[in-house]
Amino acid sequence: MLNNYRIYRSRQDLEQRIRTLHDNPLLAVGLLDVSTAKRLEETLSWYVQNLGYAIHVITQNDKVDIHLMQEKFPSVTFILFTSEAFSGEKINVFANECKTNYFLVVRTDCDLIRFDGLKLFALLDRKDHPSMVCPVLANSAREIVPCVRIPKLEKQSILCGCSFPNMLDDTKVDTLYPVMGLGLYDRALFQRLRGYDEQIHSEYWQVLDWGIRCWLLGYPLYLTQALLVQFPTRLSLIEDLTEVEGYKRCCTKALTVVQVNGKNVARKIKKDYDRDAMRQEVKSRLLWLQKQDYRHLVSFWVESEESL
């Protein structure tokens, strides 16, 4: 992780860091600044007034007047990046700095409509130990959009399907990855699983890599109505699937470990292969830790859908 950011801490954050010497606070909120300065202030005002947790704004150095913002929002901590960074790197920094048991990632272009803390923390405290809980997503027309992600495999390539969550059911729904990185994370587990891969230069491929890694290592991701966000200016949510620098790392880590007679074996794939990822990630770490392979994960999803 490059040290290309600076932190402006609130008095509340400094006091909290002293308290963490004895006991970690429960939750921190990380607000990714992806909008205008006006929208940032409006969104931040809402969180300060309505959510009683430590709030962090993650933004670019040239997007805000930090001294003015500190005057307006003295209880908020600001993480300012000095250069462009992908969402995964920003979330990694936030997770490292917040010092809480859990952290919630949201964005300035969406509104937090529902946050049922009792249900959400109960989900994260389950015996199957999920890595995170993802939100149900709604558009500007207040319609739920397809936000459940489903793993697929076609011609040795990773594909993802999507579907609507079952809004008649108040329980959890399995989902492959957090769209845009949004959701409630178990901080200790996030760091133990080494967070987002910063060598992948794409939000989509970063979150896909993270989600697949969680599932293959035995930590599911759930989606639930207890967490709901709305995008007030967007009718649809389209992810950029462009195959950019680092996407082969995701494919290599996901597909090269194969289970044969209950044992993990590393096999080179014919396409989208990254030699460094094979050596640094698969053979040194994932080969020994994976609970299942990607093909079994796809089969699990198919069987689950057929049983409904």
End-to-end CA distance of the chain: give it in Å, rounded: 43
244, 261, 288 — which closes off a domain? 244
Average pLDDT over residues 33-55: 94
pLDDT for 58: 97
Contact 175, 149 (CB under 8 A): yes
pLDDT for 62: 86
**Secondary structure (3-state) at 260:** strand
| Residues 136 and 153 grouped into a single domain | yes
The type of residue at 80 is L
- Does pLDDT of 19 surpass 80? no
Q: Please state, in angstroms and rounded to a whole number, the distance separating the CA atoms of residues 94 and 285.
A: 25
Domain membership of residue 126 as a residue range: 110-244
286 DSSP 8-state letter: I
pLDDT above 70 coverage of the chain, percent: 93
pTM for this entry: 0.93
Q: Which one is predicted more confidently, 112 or 15?
A: 112
pLDDT for 2: 54
- Sign of the alpha-carbon torsion through 270, 242, 301, 190: positive
Q: Give residue-wise pLDDT tens across range 217-247.
A: 999 999 999 999 999 999 999 999 999 999 9
pLDDT for 100: 95
Q: Please state, in angstroms and rounded to a whole number, the distance separating the CA atoms of residues 130 and 116.
A: 17
| Residues 34 and 141 grouped into a single domain | no
Q: What is the CATH number of the domain that holds 146?
A: 3.90.550.10
DSSP string, 7-18: EE--HHHHHHHH
| Residues 157 and 104 grouped into a single domain | no
Q: What distance lies between CA 14 and its chain's CA centroid?
A: 26
pLDDT for 108: 97
Query: Pick from 181, 23, 216: which is nearest to 104 by CA?
Result: 181
Average pLDDT over residues 53-58: 96
Q: Please state, in angstroms and rounded to a whole number, the distance separating the CA atoms of residues 223 and 178.
A: 9
| Residues 170 and 234 grouped into a single domain | yes
Contacts (Cβ under 8 Å, ≥6 apart) of 190:
95, 103, 131, 132
Average pLDDT over residues 206-214: 98
| Average pLDDT across the chain, whole number | 91
When mean pLDDT is compared across 102-111, 148-157, 246-255, the lowest value belongs to 148-157
Q: Please state, in angstroms and rounded to a whole number, the distance separating the CA atoms of residues 273 and 294.
A: 15
109, 134, 155 — which closes off a domain? 109
Contacts (Cβ under 8 Å, ≥6 apart) of 120:
133, 184, 224, 226, 227
User: Given pLDDT bands bounded at 50, 70 and 90, which one contains residue 21?
Assistant: very low
Q: Give residue-wise pLDDT tens across range 95-140.
A: 999 999 999 999 999 999 999 999 999 999 988 889 999 999 999 9
46, 79, 109 — which closes off a domain? 109
- Does pLDDT of 13 surpass 70? no
Q: What is the CATH number of the domain that holds 17?
A: 3.40.50
Q: How many domains does the chain have?
A: 2
pLDDT for 289: 94
User: Given pLDDT bands bounded at 50, 70 and 90, which one contains residue 10?
Assistant: confident
Residue 90 lies in a domain: yes
Contact 163, 150 (CB under 8 A): yes
Average pLDDT over residues 141-156: 93
